[in-house]
Structure 1
Amino acid sequence: MKKDVIKKAFQLTFPVMMGYIFVAIAFAVLMKEKGLSPLYSLLLSIFVYAGAMQFAAVELLSSGAGILSAAIMTLMVNIRHIFYGLSLIEPYKKMKKEKYYFIHSLSDETYSILCTQDKNDRPLLLLIGLFNQLYWIAGTLIGSWLSEYLFFDTTGIDFAMNALFLVIFVEQWQTVEHHFPAILGIVLSLVCLVVFGQNQMVIMSMILILASLLAYRKLKGVN
């Protein structure tokens, strides 16, 4: 793999690194506070790698929740990834075995970067996902180590994931020329929150946002 591709991937993911490491540290600290082994933290970051769902998993694991409850919770928290995948079907088709890791590493922040890149540059796309997961794993390891030797007041620490989402949104707002999709997403999300309530707003807002963006593309004649 060319050095310039590696360099570009690192440059693109550097802002994510600064967020992921600290958010993953928060995750590992919460796991330790709940009496869960650091090994669980590492395995979740490697094989689950689901950001917000890993924070939800802290309570699920510590409370002894059943498999069905965990499955339903995971579906609800990560339902948005269905819509991410729909917009990346064509790049998936062009990949071989590497597409399975590409799918596994598709986090919110990774998706936000991929949206601004050439979808035919598969080595770059894969490196973006790989680097971001490595940052998350590194933060998990650091958090597990720190929690063994330092005391943390974890009040409000679970808000770290929300803060990272906000940072990524601001960065994307500043780097793209057209803000209509972002404004549309905000407006429709708020409408769904009011109409459908907190529990159903994620699914409904994703459906409405996807339908609206498809209609917008058709109206503009974009293929």
Structure 2
Amino acid sequence: MSNEKKAVLRVACKAAFPHTIPVLTGYIFLGMAFGILLNSKGYSAWWALLMSGLIYAGSMQFVAIELLASIFNPIQTVIMSLVVNARHLFYGISMLDKFKDIGKKKGYMIFGLTDETFSLLCGAKTPEGVDENWFRFFITLLDQTYWVLGSVMGGVIGSMFKFNTTGIDFVMTALFIVIYLDQWKSTKDHFPAIAGVVVTVLCLIVFKADNFLIPSMIGILIVLALYKKIYDGKGEKR
């Protein structure tokens, strides 16, 4: 690798890191919670490393802990995975343009598109003089690094100390709330945030807790698509 290429990567990584600090603080503790819970079911830190490195599915990994501890049911596992991770279909659709010219990094970028990384890729602006594609790549890579590190730490801590793990999985919900509030504070247009809450609550009432996730994602996508069309139309008139 040439010195020029190394300089480009170094600058992009350095520029990406500050944007990932909120995810760093969240993923370390969230990953630790996962590692501790996984260890409580008899799986060592090596399993935490393997799952976080190869699966890297956040909430699905928490669900997988119970699936591992129960009687193996492949059909239930597939359905559960699709339901829990259905929202990523919509994330992927909205990132098509941004990933269009990213080259060989596209495969990893798709793999690493978590909720938090999606929020950063949508909100973070590439600094002047920084390669945009590498900037986005390092946001994704750093986020997964934090998750893997936290998971392994949790696995090690879980093997050293035994304690009551009741309620520890709430850290994921807490992290989503923090990211939501951060997005709210960082933008003047709160319609997407409000629309997301309203549509989700309505779908929760109509479809109930076991079936509201996919309808709410579809509803949010439709509402935001219509909003973007109206917003862009007003811009053209100006």
When normalised by structure 1's length, the TM-score is 0.95
Unaligned residue ranges in structure 2 (runs of 5+) = 1-7
Q: In the alignment, what sits opposite 2:115?
A: 108
1:49 to 43, 56, 70: 56
Alpha carbons 1:13, 1:131 under 8 Å: kept = yes
Letter in 2 for 1:36: Y
Letter in 2 for 1:52: S
Q: Determine what percentage of the aligned residue pairs are the same residue.
A: 43
Once residues 27 and 211 of structure 1 are traced to their aligned partners in structure 2, the CA distance between those partners, rounded to angstroms, is: 34
Alpha carbons 1:36, 1:62 under 8 Å: kept = no
Quick check: 1:127 aligned with 2:138? yes
2:192 to 175, 181, 187: 181
Q: In the alignment, what sits opposite 1:216?
A: 227
Once residues 15 and 152 of structure 1 are traced to their aligned partners in structure 2, the CA distance between those partners, rounded to angstroms, is: 27
2:180 to 158, 169, 180: 169
Alpha carbons 2:32, 2:154 under 8 Å: kept = yes
1:46-96 Cα distance to aligned partner (Å, 9 max, x none): 011011000000000111322222111110000000000010111222122
Moved more, 203-212 or 37-46: 37-46
1:163-216 Cα distance to aligned partner (Å, 9 max, x none): 111111111111111100000000010000001111111100110110111111
Match of 2:181, SS state, is: helix
How far is the alpha carbon of 1:118 from its aligned partner? 4.6
Alpha carbons 2:192, 2:224 under 8 Å: kept = yes
Moved more, 131-140 or 89-98: 89-98
Once residues 221 and 22 of structure 1 are traced to their aligned partners in structure 2, the CA distance between those partners, rounded to angstroms, is: 40
Larger Rg, first or second structure (1 or 2) = 2
Aligned-residue Cα RMSD (Å) equals 1.5
Q: In the alignment, what sits opposite 1:139?
A: 150
Alpha carbons 2:46, 2:152 under 8 Å: kept = no
Once residues 16 and 143 of structure 1 are traced to their aligned partners in structure 2, the CA distance between those partners, rounded to angstroms, is: 17
Unaligned residue ranges in structure 1 (runs of 5+) = none
Once residues 77 and 48 of structure 2 are traced to their aligned partners in structure 1, the CA distance between those partners, rounded to angstroms, is: 16
Q: How many residues align structurally? A: 223
Once residues 17 and 124 of structure 1 are traced to their aligned partners in structure 2, the CA distance between those partners, rounded to angstroms, is: 17
How far is the alpha carbon of 1:220 from its aligned partner? 1.7
Letter in 2 for 1:26: A
